[in-house]
Each structure stands twice: as C-alpha cells, then as structure tokens.
Amino acid sequence: MEISPAELAADLRRLRRGRGVQAVRLGDEVGPALRALCGVEETDPHAAVREKVRATLRDSSEGLPFDLRAVFVGALALDVDVAGKFLGDRERSLADEFHRDVRTIRRRVEEAIDLFAENAVARSGPPPGGEDGDWHVERLEALVRLDVPEPECVERRTIVAEGDIGDHVRVAATPPALGPAGDGADLRAVSLFGAEVIGEQRVRDGRLLLDLRLPQPLSAGQRHECGLVVRACGAGGIRSHYLYRPERRCESFELRVRFPVEHVPTSVSLVRGAADHPEVVGDEVAVDAVHEVRVTFADLRSGFAYGIRWRPVARGA
C-alpha cells in the first residue's frame, strides 16, 4: 500500500487520543497508513499490533530533533511508564518536564507528528528506478565473521515475488561491528552475485538500507537468489549481539557467527522479540569447537528481532 504523509499523520493523531499505544484493543485504533508502515496484518492479535507499532514508531522517531522526539514519544504513550495515563495527563506531564504551557506542548506534538510522517514516508518509499512491490524472503542465510580485521556479514537471500515487482528491491542489512564512538562503523556493501547495489541509506537504528537492481524483472511466483557482503571498516569494537529485524515476511533465517579465538564469549543466548525490546528466550546456545554459533528461525514476522546476544570476554582476560 502506498501511503502519504497526510494519511500517516491523520492515523497518528487518531492514535494519540485516550491511552495512545497503551489502549485496550489497539488493533481497532490503528488506521490503514499506520498499519502499512508497521507491517500490521489483519490476523495479528492486539498485543502483536501494540509491539509492532511501538517498535516502528520508537525506531523511526530517532530521526526527530530531541525536543520533538520527547513530545512525540510522550503524546503517543510509547513508553510503558505512562500506561494508564490519558492524553491530557501526558500533555501536562510534558508541560511540566519542559517548563512550557500545555498549548505550547500541543503545538510541538503537531509539529512532531507532521515531521515524523514526512520522514517515515520518505524512508519507506520505493527504491529509485522502480517499484518495490509485493515480495517476501523465502530464506536468508547470514554468516557474521568477527574473526577478521574488518568484521563482515555475508548474506545469501532468496526472495519470492508475490506480484510483478520489476527489477528493483530494497533490503536492510545489519552491520557486524561498532564505530570508535560506539556508533556504526564505516560500512561498505558489495554485491557478491545476483544483484547490483545502486543505492544505500544509513538509518538511525544502525541498519543499512540497500537498493538493489536485479538482472531482470520478476513476475508473480518467480524466485531469485542474491548475495551481499557488508564490511565494517575502522570498527571500534564488535557488538555484543546480532539481530535481524525483517521488514517483510521471512520464511526462514539461518544465522552463523564466527568469533575470534582470543575472544570467544562466555555465554550466548537466543533472542526473539519486539524490535525495540527483544527478549532472551530458551537455553544458552553452545559455541562449537571452531568458535562458531549457528541458530535457525522459522516464520519470522516484521517488527520483531531474531538472533543472539553474547557476553563478551574481557580483553586481556
């Protein structure tokens, strides 16, 4: 579904009423533009709708100026500590926090909603040169190598066209390392086979959005396989987690992480949960004799995170 900033802003203004994202039966309050942005399905229960909406709005709000982000998060009740508060209560709390009157806060909220809608629609638009139509990921294999001077993630992705999608798609890649200041390192995305990288965009949550040109347009039912490598150059340190956040339905995901022999983590745990609040689930995952961890996931849903967290060994230990 193609959405406009005006449609999305209208849905956000409707959502902020009452208890905001904390509303009971939230799925009944989420409009079509917001559903499209957050990947909400008709069959999603209300709890799943809440997690998807919260995750998407919090992640995307990172692009707002600090003061506008604060009133946006507060007005929509994206933080659980405002559960039970109605819009008027949240506005008065924001007025006290920023030492402004409620009318000023309301104007700031309006400004934040409009700016958020403009930014979100721009980021979710089709890639240059073609329509990013209906397709999903049949299988994603990711090999994360942390045992090399420039940490890298090698991805092998099989996509399936659900309609005629042309010869352009947009995918998201997660960097394998941190920059010297703790942010994402200088990233370089290179096509290995099956596609050409024609554009890239860094988003605030650290991922890299890549616009790919395929060898030929895909028709409904056709499959295509392509490979990419994302290298982190000048990294300041490896992450303590690797999470895949699918923006489209993904049937299966296999993750393999190879650790440096001198820094094998003391423990590794499976992660599955909402993108902004992933949860450790299940038992710890064993690191094998060649310093690797391999995990698999099935039936992945957009708005959720899948992968592993680990407890790094202290350097010099």
Burial class (CB in 10 A: 0-12, 13-18, 19+), 290: exposed
Token pair belonging to 81: 């500590």
Domains in the chain, number: 2
Residue 101 to residue 78: CA distance in whole angstroms: 22
Tens of pLDDT, residues 264-313: 998 999 888 755 555 666 668 999 999 999 999 998 887 678 899 888 66
Same domain for 43 and 165, yes or no, is: no
Whether residues 158 and 298 share a domain: the answer is yes
53-81 pLDDT per residue, tens: 988 888 778 778 878 888 999 999 988 66
Please tell me the predicted confidence (pLDDT) of residue 238. Answer: 66
Report pLDDT digits (tens) over 79-114. Answer: 866 655 888 998 998 999 889 999 999 999 999 999
Residue 129 lies in a domain: no
User: So what's the pLDDT on residue 112?
Assistant: 92
In the chain, pLDDT over 70 holds for what percent of residues?
Answer: 82
pLDDT-derived band at 124 (thresholds 50, 70, 90) equals low
Q: Provide the pLDDT for residue 213.
A: 92
Domain containing 214: what range? 135-311
Residue 130 in any domain: the answer is no
Give Cα 143 distance to the centre of its chain: 19
Q: What is the pLDDT of residue 126?
A: 55
User: Domain check: are 274 and 142 in the same one?
Assistant: yes
- What's the confidence (pLDDT) of residue 225? 97
Whether 271 and 309 have beta carbons less than 8 Å apart is answered as yes
Same domain, 167 and 302: yes
Asked if residue 316 belongs to a domain, the reply is no
User: Domain ends where: 124, 143, 158?
Assistant: 124
Whether 150 and 233 map to the same domain: the answer is: yes
Q: Is 75 inside any structural domain?
A: yes
In a domain, residue 152? The reply is yes
Same domain, 78 and 185: no
Check whether residue 49 and residue 165 sit in a common domain.
Answer: no
d(CA 148, CA 263): 12
User: Residue 286: exposed, middle, or buried by beta-carbon count in 10 A (0-12, 13-18, 19+)?
Assistant: exposed
Q: Which two tokens stand for residue 264?
A: 């094998």
CA distance 76 to 90: 9
Q: Are strands 250-258 and 135-145 parallel, antiparallel or unpaired?
A: parallel
The string of pLDDT tens digits covering residues 182-229 is: 344 577 889 999 999 988 777 656 678 888 999 999 999 999 999 999
Angle between helices 87-98 and 66-75 (to 10 degrees): 150
Same domain, 152 and 298: yes
Domain co-membership, 117 together with 148 = no
The model's pTM is 0.60
Q: In this structure, are 156 and 98 located in the same domain?
A: no
Q: Is residue 317 part of a domain?
A: no
Clarify whether residues 139 and 69 are in a common domain.
no
Start-to-end C-alpha separation, the chain: 53
pLDDT tens-digit readout, 23-63: 888 989 899 999 988 888 888 898 889 889 988 888 778 77
Same domain membership, residue 274 and residue 194: yes
Q: How far apart are CA 317 and CA 40, in angstroms?
A: 46
The DSSP bridge partners found for residue 269 are 284, 309
- Please say which residue of 124, 152, 186 terminates a domain: 124
CATH number at residue 181: 2.60.40
Domain ends where: 64, 95, 124? 124
209 within domain boundaries: yes
